[in-house]
Structure 1
Amino acid sequence: MNTKLMDLGFGIWDLGFGIWDSGFWILDFGFWILDFKTGFYTANPLACESRYAF
């Protein structure tokens, strides 16, 4: 797992910056975001708000 970017249509997999977006759920290792449509887990709410701002 290095600094790779994988775009799967509407999904992004970037473990360097820490984003795994596939559909409507986000698994973010950099900002600690784990969202599976129904809810989310984050260690940094500000980072989560940041993501949803975009």
Structure 2
Amino acid sequence: MDFSSLKNTPPMYLYLVSIISFILANLIRDKSLGFYYFLLIIGLVFFVLGFMRRLKTK
């Protein structure tokens, strides 16, 4: 798999995806616990990716 588009993504977009996944996880929490944890992990991964990218650009 080629993640070159993810490598060139600005940190703000990674943070935005993270926030959206956290919001969706909060809305889904009562309906599907497995999907809730999946969205939390996705949000955390994108937040860390954005944070790491931000540290590299400074």
- TM-score, normalised with respect to structure 2: 0.27
Identify the structure with the greater strand proportion: 1
Could you say which structure has the greater relative contact order, defined with CA pairs below 8 angstroms and 6 or more residues apart? 2
- TM-score, normalised with respect to structure 1: 0.28
Identify the structure with the greater helix proportion: 2
